[in-house]
Amino acid sequence: MRGLAGRFVRSRSGSFAPILILSMVPIIAAIGFSVDYTSAVQTRSDMQAALDAGILSITTMNVNSTLPQRQVALQQSFAANGAPAGAAATLNSFVVAADGTATAQATASFAMPTVFMQIARINTVPVSVASAVSKNPALVQATFKVTGVSGWWNKTMTLYGTQFGATVAKPLMTIVYTYGKTGDPKGYGTTTVNTITNSGGQDITTMVQQQVCTVGGAKPVGAVTTTDANGTTYYCVNTMFPPNGSGAVIDVSQMGGLYLQMDVPSGNPKKLLSNDPTTSNRLYNSNDPNIPPVEIPTGQVVDIFGIVPCGTTGYQAWEDGGSPVPAPVSNADFFYNVTGKCAFNQRANQTLLTQ
């Protein structure tokens, strides 16, 4: 049978062999075109992923970066994330609105060399992709103002921030409470709020608020009278530095991470952290003046950037460890307001791919 087939193909008395070869050309071409098409589809997928990564990366650059600077960074990220050699990414626009909302659009193109399509004199196939992002305004400044602190234990609340590119968090603000030993059921004393800034490698502490609360005796000039849940009437004198100051104004625009820490030397636990799911449930939060602060659910890590509202005031409190939780906010010992200012920020969050 094999000999017969071989003689049939080699036969010179007919024209079957040339016809067979010619008939195979389109079949081979079709298979080859399919291979090149599959390669083009994969190349497009790789380019799309690389362009998406590139356009997301340039939203973390400084707001003052120019379009050419962002273009260079886009191309570098595009190449580093798997774009084929020779593919070019183009940043068509990057706009930051007055409210801090950022939008960007980019495209990329590549002339993909073919293998089998060259039979039909098609040496390259154009591959192009597009990507766009929108980035919402984020927290760039937070202002803390103490409204009332009590308890028989001394305690300190510290705001820590981790700067972009850094691995170690540094203190940005402290609120220090010293028990006044007044003998009342709740306990009242002196609270001092300080901002911490760095200059020339040195931390500079600046007092911005002091609140002195006492029980009994003559009401001090300028004091605010309050009656607590135990029926104790106490008086607080609130002093701002400068006199028209709004509290501890903290620049967090260069911070990639923020967390609050409460140190209570006499408490159990002695250290409470907003980013520790085992102790964050002692923090209370509300963004509505008509709704009392609500306890953070157990096991949750708190994103300070997320719970400080933009352009309005949030209301927060801490239970310092003297009472078991969960518990109503009336059991808390540390109350303060925090007001956020939002604008364009270099953090990667709040960024969405829109194309």
Cα–Cα distance for residue pair 94/213, rounded to 1 Å: 52
Residue 16 is inside which H or E element, if any? helix 16-57
**DSSP string of 316-336, one letter each residue:** EEE--SSS-SS--GGG--EEE
- The pLDDT mean for the chain works out to 88
Whether residue 301 contacts residue 275, with contact meaning beta carbons closer than 8 Å, is answered with yes
Where is average pLDDT lowest: 85-89, 216-220, 272-276? 216-220
Q: What is the pLDDT of residue 323?
A: 81
Domain ranges of the chain: 16-135, 139-343
Contacts by residues 200-208 (CB-CB < 8 Å, ≥ 24 positions apart)? 203/170, 203/171, 205/174, 206/241, 207/241, 208/240, 208/241, 208/245, 208/247, 208/248, 208/249
- Closest to 101 measured CA to CA, from 59, 163, 67: 59
Where is average pLDDT lowest: 268-277, 306-315, 345-354? 345-354
Whether residue 84 contacts residue 141, with contact meaning beta carbons closer than 8 Å, is answered with no
Where is pLDDT greater, at 12 or 209? Answer: 209
Cα–Cα distance for residue pair 164/347, rounded to 1 Å: 8
Q: pLDDT at residue 90 above 50?
A: yes
Where is average pLDDT lowest: 3-7, 46-50, 155-159? 3-7
Residues in the chain: 355
Cα 236 to the chain's mean position, in Å? 37
Cα 218 to the chain's mean position, in Å? 49
Query: 141-184 pLDDT, tens per residue?
Result: 999 999 999 888 899 999 999 998 899 999 999 999 999 876 77
Q: pLDDT at residue 247 above 90?
A: yes
How many CB atoms lie under 10 A from the CB of residue 313? 16
Q: pLDDT at residue 16 above 60?
A: no
How many CB atoms lie under 10 A from the CB of residue 310? 16
Cα–Cα distance for residue pair 31/116, rounded to 1 Å: 8
Residues 214-235 have a mean pLDDT of 80
In this structure, what are the phi and psi dihedrals at residue 49, rounded to the nearest 5 degrees?
-65, -40
Q: What is the pLDDT of residue 226?
A: 82
Residues 200-210 have a mean pLDDT of 92
Q: pLDDT at residue 204 above 90?
A: yes
Cα–Cα distance for residue pair 73/85, rounded to 1 Å: 16
Q: pLDDT at residue 6 above 60?
A: no
Residue 177 is inside which H or E element, if any? strand 170-179
* DSSP code at position 99: T
Q: pLDDT at residue 120 above 80?
A: no
In this structure, what are the phi and psi dihedrals at residue 105, rounded to the nearest 5 degrees?
-135, 140
Residues 96-109 have a mean pLDDT of 94
- Closest to 186 measured CA to CA, from 161, 212, 157, 149: 149
Kindly indicate the confidence band of residue 128, based on its pLDDT and cuts at 50, 70 and 90: very high
Q: What is the pLDDT of residue 161?
A: 96
Q: Output the CA torsion 285→287→291→295 (10° steps).
A: -10
Using the Cα atoms of residue 82, residue 84, residue 85 and residue 87 in order, give the sign of their dihedral: negative
Kindly indicate the confidence band of residue 30, based on its pLDDT and cuts at 50, 70 and 90: low
